[in-house]
């Protein structure tokens, strides 16, 4: 039996060294070490080995088994290394690398950031408010009567508990005044919601930027100067502005500002924002809620403005459809990468 073991060892090592592929190697593993393999068969002969010789023969059997297993393993590794090397030989390191695409800011974010930066230079601080508002913050405090069309079920998203998705960011004005005493200079960029049918120029969620300026002796001249400067900084020196009377419940007098740029909106006037002098009735509402006279209309005056960003982005970037702004189409968005 010892002789047979030695012979098997020799034959196995030679065959393993000659194996050319991983599958050949697998077959050898089965034929030597498998359940019905040569070594298993030999080990069955142990029964006939005289008792005294068993320890020696048993030890040899184990050694041969370990040697074959180690040799299979080593051959496996060198076959793998050879095939790795072959793969590398086919590698063309002169091929250009796959381009790594970097992210980019969304066009609306670009526009909003620009607007915020200009207004921050003028001393406006960022303010915030919740998208889900109460009727008081969205309408009542802003002097909007109960029968105003904006308050209708058909125009506004109401929650079952009576709260609503804010229809404008003007609620941020009230949130600010409840929290802080004058003078205040804040801007509140954010989402607003209306129950509009979605089409090429309407979304049910859009973006506004609100502004509020309250101080002693603020005049329409301050409003006009601030907003014309803002528009020129935002849209460039070629932008013309025009201010015309309008109505908003929360400002008196109220205006709308239009802009005109060569090559934008076919050179026609477009509505940019609503604005006006804060109505004393709004200060009264705020004082009542605060329980003080912090916003005494005899002492404090102010102006406010609110602009929509989506339509402006459409005009500036020449977008034919407002839905491009929310569809996340890479082909569209990639054009704004710098």
Nearest distance in Å: CB 275, ligand DAH? 5
| 182 is a contact residue toward ligand DAH (CB under 6 A) | no
Nearest distance in Å: CB 316, ligand DAH? 19
Q: Which stretch binds ligand DAH (CB under 6 A): 108-116, 121-129, 197-205, 298-306?
A: 298-306
Q: How far is CA 291 from the centre of its chain?
A: 41
Residue closer to ligand DAH (CB basis): 32 or 213: 213
| 306 is a contact residue toward ligand DAH (CB under 6 A) | yes
List Cα–Cα distances, 130 to 186, 266, 283, in angstroms.
Answer: 16, 37, 21
Nearest distance in Å: CB 107, ligand DAH? 21
Residue closer to ligand DAH (CB basis): 170 or 241: 170
Nearest distance in Å: CB 223, ligand DAH? 9
Torsion angles phi and psi, residue 311, rounded to 5: -65, -35
| 127 is a contact residue toward ligand DAH (CB under 6 A) | no
Residue from the set 304, 315, 322, 325 that interacts with ligand DAH by CB under 6 A: 304
List Cα–Cα distances, 236 to 208, 216, 229, 230, 261, in angstroms.
Answer: 21, 31, 10, 10, 9
DSSP secondary structure code for residue 295 in this structure: T
| 168 is a contact residue toward ligand DAH (CB under 6 A) | yes
List Cα–Cα distances, 128 to 110, 302, 327, in angstroms.
Answer: 19, 19, 26
Residue from the set 15, 210, 279, 310 that interacts with ligand DAH by CB under 6 A: 210
CA dihedral 78, 84, 90, 91 (to 10 degrees): -140
Nearest distance in Å: CB 164, ligand DAH? 14
Burial letters for 134-172: b for 16+ Cβ neighbours within 10 Å, e otherwise? bbebbbbbbbbeeeeeebeeeebbeeeeebbbbbbbbbb
Residue closer to ligand DAH (CB basis): 43 or 207: 207
Nearest distance in Å: CB 149, ligand DAH? 12
Pairwise CA distance, residues 330 & 154, whole Å: 34
Mask for 244-283, x = binds ligand DAH (CB under 6 A): ----x--x----------------------xxx-------
Residue closer to ligand DAH (CB basis): 71 or 207: 207
**8 A C-beta contact, residue 32 and residue 70:** no
Q: How far is CA 228 from the centre of its chain?
A: 33
Contact positions toward ligand DAH, by CB under 6 A?
168, 170, 210, 248, 251, 274-276, 304-306
């Amino acid at each position: 039996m010892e002789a047979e073991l030695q012979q098997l060892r020799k034959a196995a090592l030679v065959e393993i060294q000659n194996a050319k592929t991983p599958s050949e190697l697998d077959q050898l593993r089965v034929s030597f070490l498998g359940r019905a393999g040569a070594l298993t068969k030999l080990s069955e002969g142990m029964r006939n080995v005289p008792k005294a010789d068993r320890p020696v023969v048993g030890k040899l059997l184990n050694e041969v088994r370990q040697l074959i297993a180690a040799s299979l393993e080593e051959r496996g590794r060198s076959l793998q290394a050879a095939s790795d090397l072959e793969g590398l030989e086919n590698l063309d390191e002169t091929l250009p690398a796959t381009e790594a695409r970097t992210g980019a800011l969304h066009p609306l974010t670009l526009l909003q950031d620009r607007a915020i930066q200009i207004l921050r230079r003028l001393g406006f601080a960022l303010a915030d408010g919740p998208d889900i508002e109460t009727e008081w913050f969205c309408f009542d405090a802003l002097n909007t009567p109960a029968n105003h069309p904006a308050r209708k079920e058909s125009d506004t998203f109401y929650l079952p508990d009576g709260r609503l998705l804010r229809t404008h960011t003007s609620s941020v004005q009230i949130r600010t005044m409840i929290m802080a005493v004058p003078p205040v200079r804040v801007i509140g960029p954010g989402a607003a919601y209306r129950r509009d049918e979605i089409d090429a120029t309407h979304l049910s969620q859009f973006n506004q930027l609100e502004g509020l300026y309250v101080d002693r002796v603020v005049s329409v001249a301050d409003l006009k100067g601030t907003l014309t400067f803002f528009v020129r900084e935002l849209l460039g020196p070629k932008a013309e502005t025009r201010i015309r009377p309008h109505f908003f419940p929360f400002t008196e007098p109220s205006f709308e500002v239009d802009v005109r740029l060569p090559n934008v909106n076919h050179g026609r006037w477009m509505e940019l924002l609503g604005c006006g002098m804060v109505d004393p009735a709004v200060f009264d509402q705020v004082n009542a809620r605060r329980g003080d006279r912090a916003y005494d209309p005899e002492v404090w005056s102010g102006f406010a403005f609110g602009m929509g960003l989506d339509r402006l982005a459409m005009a500036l970037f020449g977008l034919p459809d407002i839905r491009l702004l929310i569809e996340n189409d890479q082909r569209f968005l990639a054009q704004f990468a710098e």
